[in-house]
Amino acid sequence: MANLTLSLDDDLLQKAREAALREHTSVNALVREYLTQYVNARDRRLCALDALDEVAERTRSASDGRWSRESLHDRQAG
């Protein structure tokens, strides 16, 4: 496991130590858990954006760029 050095505001570190104590853990464990959650959430967001891009690409290819504002309004009126 790698080591990491952080620079933190003294008040923030004190509050983190107090929170860790209340949760029967360590600041190290809190930081590790936070970073794990952050990376996992970011990965999920990126996967969701990739999926959205795929859907948009399929939709765009199906329309062949033939839609216009006027044609959409004509379609709704009919």
pLDDT for res 32? 94
Rounded-to-integer distance, Cα 21 and Cα 43, Å: 30
pLDDT tens string, the chain, 78 residues long: the values are 899 999 999 999 999 999 999 999 999 999 999 999 988 888 888 888 878 878 877 776 555 666 677 777 775 555
- 68 alpha-carbon distance from chain centroid: 33
pLDDT of residue 48: 82
State the pLDDT at residue 26: 97
Instruction: Single out the residue of 43, 42, 45, 17 nearest to residue 31, CA to CA.
Output: 17
Give the separation between CA 12 and CA 21, rounded to whole angstroms.
14
Q: Give the CA distances from residue 71 to residues 8, 61, 66, in Å, rounded to whole numbers and listed in that order.
A: 58, 17, 9
Which pLDDT belongs to residue 33?
94
